[in-house]
A and B are shown apart, each in its own frame.
Chain A
Amino acid sequence: MGTISEKILSAHAGKEVRAGDICIVPVDFMMSQDGTTGLTIKAFKQMAAKSIANPKKYAIVIDHNSPSPMESVSNIHKEMRDFASDQGSILYDVGEGVCHQLLPEKGHVLPGNVVIGGDSHTCTYGALNVFATGVGSTDLAAALVTGKIWFRVPSTIKFVYDGTLPEGTYSKDVILHMCKTLTSRGATYKALEIYGTVIDAMSVDARMTISNMVVEVGAKVGLMPCDSRVREYVRQRTNAPFKGVEASGSAIYERVIREDLSDLPPQVAKPHEVDNVVDVSKVAGTELDQVYIGTCTNGRLEDLKIASEILAGKKVARGVRLIVAPASRNVLLDAMREGYIDRLVRAGATVIAPSCGPCVGTCNGVPSDAETVLSTANRNFKGRMGNTKAEIYLSSPATAAYSAMLGHIADVREVQK
């Protein structure tokens, strides 16, 4: 009985819970990164705790400001390494990749799990049927100590995206469209379940782009079904047993939104809000100084493939900097093997370490005053990339690559005709 969230949380709580109920549940996996681990350790010490309940269920990832550009960051990284080795927990050091790529890629998160991370985009794993959500450092520290977390069971909005995406439109365009539909607060405190032929046709990589951004509409989690693609993705990465969780036929939804996306054009979010979304035609021609392809939203193998195909044998426009950050070392290796990196670099791209890169304004591509950036990331808040005087637009990797080639925002369907 119930929605996916209600069923996962009930199974973990050991009793039937419904939307609105409070429950305390064991956590299957936890993560924190270099922007949040410092405070997590601080909170951990404040709780007068000596050791972590399940050190093998906790990964510390050095990705946000990596490799370190300055002393203060190096010291934070050092503290993270020491904590990981003292506690016997998992450490992904410089160069391994972005946390939200690593957890699924390394087989740490399984369908039906409850996962929390000290990062708001932890909701990414919803694409793998995981009840995964971002928490602050104190909640995380409490879960490290007790192995548990409390939740108020969210009510659920169900999306059904019917039809087939047209050429030139991708999962990123779908989630930007959802941001426009719901607005940045349209799903506050809610879970989403996302279904439909559009989702069924997507790779797991592409689905993660959607679940990654559900926090941009305020959602706690963005769950998708555990179908054969998800099962295959997980089986290739771990031998651990798992069982997907389906919503029951009698599940109660707060709202059901059904839409046919067969005519959805490429979407772009304009500065300075993620829900400020328009069809690409409305912003076509906007001159660009920098294009960024990467992040936990769109730095996966499929993203690099799409971008490299558009740029194959072409050049990035004069005066435009194209920065590419593969989401992980494995993505980088695969992209090298497939020739994607070769094509991108020949086109003029600068490939940086698998990391968050300039997404959050820490290093590797902070724009200057009055510059305009097109990014495949998930946020375009003022100052997000480290300079409040820069303008950030968000798009799919295809739109980003094609726009980099032309030097202004452009409709990628032109190239695909």
Chain B
Amino acid sequence: MSIMKGRAHTFGDNLNTDYVISGKYKFKTLDMKELSKHVMEDIRPGFYDEIEEGDFVVAGENLGAGSSREQAPLVLKAAGIGAVVAKSFARIFYRNCINVGLPVVEVDTSQIEEGDVLEIDIAQGVVVNVTKNVTLQASPLPPVMMKILSDGGLAEHLKRHNGFALDESD
């Protein structure tokens, strides 16, 4: 995977999936592009319009708490978000991101501010804050997840290998 570059949009701790996309919208449509216009609407109205393709969502602890709705990572992806970066993630969300091919980076985000330009190397687990000129070392992605992500998500993984091809000795 190549190096991604984009701007940071920062959020606090415990940003739950209800905030990423409100439960009331998930029944509106299965068209994620359409749904993505409501991304973060309850806590940051107008967020969709701030996003440029390849930007990053940067949060504190426990990003993605709550609902299992896969609409959450999907709308982020559809809205143009290139990766989600946080100090820690809630479990189901973390897995869902990988499964739909949205890169996740677990790193200390306290030195990242709104608008900072970041360069992220997922394979190496390195985040460079270009604006502040600091390099942050991320926790490595478990090998199983790296494999799914590099295949482009779980659906692609299963198609490519005709079933799970996860090295269980990892």
Contact = CB atoms under 8 A, between A and B. Distances in A.
A138 B101 CA distance: 11
B158 A47 contact: yes
B37 interface: no
A72 B159 contact: no
Contact of B70 (A22, A137, A146, A381): A137
Interface stretch (A34-42, A158-166, A296-304): A34-42
Interface stretch (A87-95, A183-191, A313-321): A183-191
B158 A146 contact: yes
Contacts of A34: 27
Given A47-B158, A381-B66, A188 B16 contact: no
A118 B91 CA distance: 14
Interface string A120-163: 10100000000000111111011001101010100000000000
Nearest to A366: B24
B91 A188 contact: yes
A299 to B, nearest CB: 18
Contacts of B61: 185
Interface string B27-57: 1111000000000001100000000000000
Nearest to A46: B155
B75 to A, nearest CB: 11
A382 interface: yes
Given A135-B95, A185-B62, A360-B23, A150 B166 contact: yes
Contacts of A329: none
Nearest to A152: B142
A386 B167 CA distance: 43
A22 to B, nearest CB: 5
A135 B19 contact: no
Contacts of B166: 22, 24, 150
Interface string B1-42: 000000000000010101100111011111000000000001
Contacts of A366: 24
Contacts of B26: 35
Contact of A218 (B19, B28, B73, B90): B90
Interface string A158-187: 000000000000000000000000001100
B78 interface: no
B23 A361 contact: yes
B95 A136 contact: yes
A43 B30 CA distance: 12
B155 A381 contact: no
Interface in B73-130: 73-74, 88-92, 95-96, 99-100
A76 interface: yes
Nearest to B67: A120
Contact of A38 (B22, B24, B30, B42): B30
B91 A220 contact: yes
B137 interface: no
Contact of B23 (A35, A70, A117): A35
A72 B28 contact: yes
Nearest to B143: A22
A228 B16 CA distance: 38
Contacts of B159: 47-48
Interface in A14-49: 22-24, 34-36, 38-39, 42-43, 46-48
A71 B91 CA distance: 33
Nearest to A137: B70
A10 interface: no
B24 A361 contact: yes
A273 interface: yes
B19 A139 contact: no
A382 B42 contact: yes
A35 B61 CA distance: 26
A384 B17 CA distance: 10
A178 B96 CA distance: 26
Given A118-B68, A361-B23, A134 B164 contact: no
A134 to B, nearest CB: 4
Given A24-B164, A137-B70, A383-B23, 15 more contacts: A35-B27, A70-B27, A119-B68, A136-B96, A136-B99, A138-B155, A139-B99, A146-B163, A185-B14, A185-B88, A215-B92, A218-B62, A360-B24, A361-B22, A361-B24
Q: Which 10 A-B pairs have the closest CB atoms?
A: A136-B96, A138-B99, A185-B62, A136-B70, A360-B23, A46-B155, A120-B68, A383-B42, A134-B68, A137-B70
20 contacts: A24-B166, A35-B27, A36-B68, A120-B67, A136-B92, A136-B99, A137-B70, A138-B70, A138-B96, A138-B100, A146-B158, A184-B14, A184-B65, A188-B89, A215-B92, A218-B65, A360-B23, A366-B24, A382-B18, A386-B24
